[in-house]
Amino acid sequence: MNLTAAKDPAKPESTIEMIDTQNNRENMSGIELPEDPIVVIRPRNGWIPIDLGELWKYRDLILILTARDIKVRYKQTLLGAAWAVIQPLFTMLIFTIFFGRLAGVPSDGIPYPIFAFAGLLPWTFFSNAVTNSGNSLVGNSNLISKVYFPRMIIPISSVASGLVDFAIAFLLQLLLMVWYGVKFGPSLILLPVLVALTSLLAVGIGMWMSALNVKYRDIRYVLPFAIQLGLFASPIIYPSSMVPEKWRWVMSVNPLAGQIEGYRSAFFGLPIDWTSLGVSALVTLAILVYASVTFKRMERSFADLI
Amino acid sequence: MPTLSDMSRPIIRVEDLGKEFVIGGPAEPYSTIRESIVRTVRKPFDMIRGNGSEKRKFWALKDVNFEVFPGEVLGIIGRNGAGKSTLLKVLSRITEPTKGRVELYGRVGSLLEVGTGFHPELTGRENIYLNGAILGMRRDEITKKFDAIVDFAEIEEFLDTPVKRYSSGMYTRLAFAVAANLEPEILIVDEVLAVGDAAFQKKCLGKMEEVASAGRTVLFVSHNMGAVSKLCSEVMLLQNGKVRGRGEPSEIVGQYLREGSSSEFISDAGPVRFASLRQIGQRLILKLRYQMEKEIDLPCLGFVVSDAAGNPLFGTNPKIDKVPRLSTPRSEGEMEIEISDPGLVDGTYYASLWFGDGETDHFVEKDCLTVEVLDMVPNQHGRPHLNGFVYPKCEWNLNV
């Protein structure tokens, strides 16, 4: 959608300030038209920058859509929000039995159950967030074809609604740590940064997938499969230290790997691998930028394709 | 009141607007990655063989130019596929034009559907906030208007009930109430008045009049010629994506009704393949041939016959008439309805059709049939606009 401020026709990329009209609204009964158009609609080619200002103005919609997703998710379920705990908890139990006990996978000297749970915590959040936001545009096609708002809001609020489940599971992690007698160290302050990174990565991949999903419905089948692979390609069941030194770099290409190790270091006060965390942050940023550019480019045809 | 200087400047300016759709070609929806790859590989070969132009393009809107001034209520009419909805979608920024330019000098609120984004599991209260935010209201703005919305919708007692338990009337009222309390300078409304009962429609029309008299600009798409004539200060007629005419409501509505309809409806797809309406003596005969995907035991054809101004005169369907269902369900067939003595005076009449299985309408076509009635009734008063279109059958007894 091309929304440019006509204030400077030479600069068609500058996006409009929609709510600016609020200043004019008071005297609207007297109709004083602004000198320049508030919105200019015209076809646009090439890449379109993200309008963070407009996203900010629509923040209420992000919050309300997030709240909708959370409220609706556990309506008419017997166990409600308990599912946020059950999912990672049972996965952890199964992993503990099969990988911890039977296969004897090492866990850097940490009891295997909390070792696995510390990895499953970000993984569950990430995989649910990507699945939900990847399907979010198609799932909200009624909105896309009937109302205007920045389309990015939909995958973003899908990811945001996963944060509540994450918070519940996070409390469980803290309880498990108390149970296993793990001391809470100062490295815990790293967690907000990690959560932000994981959220941004999920927004990036989710937004990208959601846009592709509008055009190629294959994504619906690709996503669960890719996520299953991701579980094994990330150090969730096993520690990174188990990967031979010369293959370690392959691991660091996976931005989630560095983050998951980061969560473990933060929870258990282990030495932090700043290099892999730094690489992960850079890759996350690159994905986010690439995804938003792709999204903006494809956004124009959403209403026609969906 | 609008000052003279501002009245001379349009609030909406549309220049050379065009929207092209590609059908059957590479831009086809629901394409898969495999298809994309196959196409990319095949493209050079297709070009050699001259198959490159197999995609079909069509302009849903073409060379559209118009201006709307503050406080105007512009009705947009035209047959299905004339480009009305596409125009509204472009103006609402839902879809991007292929060429041209639109300048908007005010905030746009568009109401292309009643209850967009309503979630059935959420309560009335929650949906007011959700719907309001979707329509572009800020949270505190909704809070400020909350009471007015609840008042208009008349749903106080059900505020905390999930809307899936609402009756369809309550649902529509609530949805319209949220939208009606949106206060944009430009309000874009698409056919929302088609839903709801008569009292509600009246209320909606009233609200729209109020909006317009407050100096706001309204664009109104409708098939309801009565509402268009009553509400709009000007009407624009679209035909095949182009502006066919613009002017006084009565003039343009008349032009549309004269040209826009035909006495037969023929289609090679969809549930209704053929429909016709003709006068035979004192009777009107409505014929229909249908083809459905599944078998139905009640080919439920509803019809409404209206006068040239779009006012409905009469209508019914098999359910109202308590017609017995078919003993053996069928997926296709022909049917005929004889309207034995409608008593219409000379003039042009239009019929709108609804067709379905009695549960859902699979086919809706407004004013798709037209009939020229001549000598149906023995005498003509010649003044239908004063005396009515139906000639009554009377037993006069001047001496009792």
Q: What is the ipTM for the molecules in this complex?
A: 0.76
Task: Report the share of chain A in percent with pLDDT over 70.
Answer: 90
Burial A5-39 (b: 16+ CB within 10 A, else e): bbeeeeeeeebbbbbebeebeeebeebebeeebbb
Stretch B170-176: mean pLDDT: 84
- Chain B residues with CB-CB distance to A33 below 8 A: 6, 9, 11, 70, 105-106
Stretch B91-99: mean pLDDT: 91
Query: Using the beta-carbon criterion (under 8 Å), do B106 and A33 form an inter-chain contact?
Result: yes
Least CB–CB distance from B116: residue in A25, A143, A216: A143
Query: Using the beta-carbon criterion (under 8 Å), do B31 and A65 form an inter-chain contact?
Result: no
Average pLDDT across chain A, whole number: 85
Stretch A222-230: mean pLDDT: 92
| Separation in Å, CA of A242 to nearest CA in chain B | 37
| Separation in Å, CA of B155 to nearest CA in chain A | 21
Tokens of B88: 């509204």
Give the model's pLDDT for residue A156: 95
Does residue A240 or residue B56 have the better pLDDT?
A240
Residue A4: band (very low, low, confident or very high) from pLDDT cuts 50, 70, 90:
very low
| Separation in Å, CA of A271 to nearest CA in chain B | 44
**Helix ranges (DSSP H) in chain B:** 4-7, 33-49, 84-91, 124-134, 139-153, 168-180, 198-213, 225-231, 249-260, 384-387
- Give phi and psi for B311, each to the nearest 5: -80, 125
In the predicted model, is pLDDT for residue A17 greater than 60? no
- pLDDT tens-digit series, residues B374-394: 778 888 777 777 788 898 888
Angle between helices A255-268 and A191-215 (to 10 degrees): 150
Stretch A82-92: mean pLDDT: 88
Q: Which residue of A has its CA nearest to B190?
A: A146
Alpha carbon distance A50, A54 (integer Å): 9
Query: Using the beta-carbon criterion (under 8 Å), do A218 and B33 form an inter-chain contact?
Result: yes
Q: Which residue of B has its CA nearest to A297?
A: B96
In the predicted model, is pLDDT for residue B5 greater than 50? no
Stretch B190-219: mean pLDDT: 75
Least CB–CB distance from A41: residue in B29, B93, B133: B93
Query: Using the beta-carbon criterion (under 8 Å), do B215 and A25 form an inter-chain contact?
Result: no
Least CB–CB distance from B134: residue in A28, A61, A305: A61
Alpha carbon distance B197, B193 (integer Å): 9
- pLDDT tens-digit series, residues B130-152: 988 888 888 899 999 999 999 98
Alpha carbon distance B100, A44 (integer Å): 11
Angle between helices B168-180 and B139-153 (to 10 degrees): 140
Stretch A77-86: mean pLDDT: 83
| Separation in Å, CA of A301 to nearest CA in chain B | 7
Burial category of A274 from C-beta neighbours within 10 Å (exposed 0-12, middle 13-18, buried 19 and up)? exposed
| Separation in Å, CA of A278 to nearest CA in chain B | 34
Give the model's pLDDT for residue B58: 82
Any idea which fold B12-17+61-259 has? Rossmann fold (3.40.50)
CB A157 within 8 A of CB A206: no
Give the model's pLDDT for residue A9: 38
In the predicted model, is pLDDT for residue B219 greater than 80? yes
- Chain B residues with CB-CB distance to A306 below 8 A: 29
- Chain B residues with CB-CB distance to A154 below 8 A: none
- Chain A residues with CB-CB distance to B92 below 8 A: 147-148
Any idea which fold B264-387 has? Coagulation Factor XIII; Chain A, domain 1 (2.70.50)
- Chain A residues with CB-CB distance to B33 below 8 A: 216, 218
Stretch A219-240: mean pLDDT: 91
Least CB–CB distance from A38: residue in B34, B105, B112: B105
Closest to B376 (Cα-Cα) out of B264, B310, B284:
B284
Place of tokens 């009695």: B358
Give the model's pLDDT for residue B193: 61
Alpha carbon distance A13, A31 (integer Å): 29
Give the model's pLDDT for residue A5: 39
In the predicted model, is pLDDT for residue A194 greater than 60? yes
Helix (H) or strand (E) segment spanning residue A267: helix A255-268
Give the model's pLDDT for residue B112: 83
Alpha carbon distance A221, A225 (integer Å): 7
Query: Using the beta-carbon criterion (under 8 Å), do A149 and B136 form an inter-chain contact?
Result: yes
Alpha carbon distance B3, A96 (integer Å): 77
Picking from A51, A62, A146, A216 by the largest number of B CB atoms within 10 A of its own CB, the best residue to mutate is: A146
Amino acid letter at A76? Q
Does residue A208 or residue B57 have the better pLDDT?
A208
Average pLDDT across chain B, whole number: 83
Does residue B2 or residue B320 have the better pLDDT?
B320
- pLDDT tens-digit series, residues B325-346: 999 999 899 999 999 889 998 8
Give the model's pLDDT for residue A88: 87
Give the model's pLDDT for residue A19: 37
Closest to A155 (Cα-Cα) out of A210, A85, A235:
A210
Domain ranges of chain B: 12-17+61-259, 264-387
Q: Which residue of B has its CA nearest to A59?
A: B138
Alpha carbon distance B290, B334 (integer Å): 6
Query: Using the beta-carbon criterion (under 8 Å), do A304 and B32 form an inter-chain contact?
Result: no
Give the model's pLDDT for residue B262: 56
Alpha carbon distance B348, B225 (integer Å): 14
Enter the DSSP assignment of B357: S
Does residue A239 or residue B116 have the better pLDDT?
A239
Alpha carbon distance B162, B159 (integer Å): 8
- pLDDT tens-digit series, residues B255-266: 887 665 556 787
In the predicted model, is pLDDT for residue B29 greater than 80? no
Give the model's pLDDT for residue B3: 45
Query: Using the beta-carbon criterion (under 8 Å), do A40 and B101 form an inter-chain contact?
Result: yes
In the predicted model, is pLDDT for residue B118 greater than 90? no
- Chain B residues with CB-CB distance to A68 below 8 A: 119, 122, 126, 130
Stretch A133-140: mean pLDDT: 93
| Separation in Å, CA of A87 to nearest CA in chain B | 24
Residue B42: band (very low, low, confident or very high) from pLDDT cuts 50, 70, 90:
low
In the predicted model, is pLDDT for residue B40 greater than 80? no
In the predicted model, is pLDDT for residue A14 greater than 60? no
Query: Using the beta-carbon criterion (under 8 Å), do B119 and A72 form an inter-chain contact?
Result: yes
- pLDDT tens-digit series, residues A28-67: 445 678 888 888 888 877 677 778 888 888 899 999 999 9
Alpha carbon distance B239, B246 (integer Å): 12
Query: Using the beta-carbon criterion (under 8 Å), do A146 and B112 form an inter-chain contact?
Result: yes
| Separation in Å, CA of A59 to nearest CA in chain B | 9
Give the model's pLDDT for residue A18: 38
Picking from A66, A74, A148 by the largest number of B CB atoms within 10 A of its own CB, the best residue to mutate is: A148
- Chain B residues with CB-CB distance to A29 below 8 A: 214-215
- Chain B residues with CB-CB distance to A146 below 8 A: 94, 112-113, 116-117
Give the model's pLDDT for residue A24: 39
Alpha carbon distance A285, A292 (integer Å): 11
Query: Using the beta-carbon criterion (under 8 Å), do B93 and A38 form an inter-chain contact?
Result: no
Picking from A39, A59, A306 by the largest number of B CB atoms within 10 A of its own CB, the best residue to mutate is: A39
In the predicted model, is pLDDT for residue B300 greater than 60? yes
Task: Report the share of chain B in percent with pLDDT over 90.
Answer: 28
Find which of A44-48, A91-95, B152-156, B197-201 is predicted with most confidence, using mean pLDDT.
A91-95
Q: Which residue of B has its CA nearest to A70?
A: B122
In the predicted model, is pLDDT for residue B181 greater than 90? no
DSSP per-residue codes, B168-226:
HHHHHHHHHHHHHT---SEEEEESGGGSS-HHHHHHHHHHHHHHHHTT-EEEEE-S-HH
Picking from B185, B187, B192 by the largest number of A CB atoms within 10 A of its own CB, the best residue to mutate is: B185
Stretch B85-90: mean pLDDT: 91
Query: Using the beta-carbon criterion (under 8 Å), do A304 and B29 form an inter-chain contact?
Result: yes
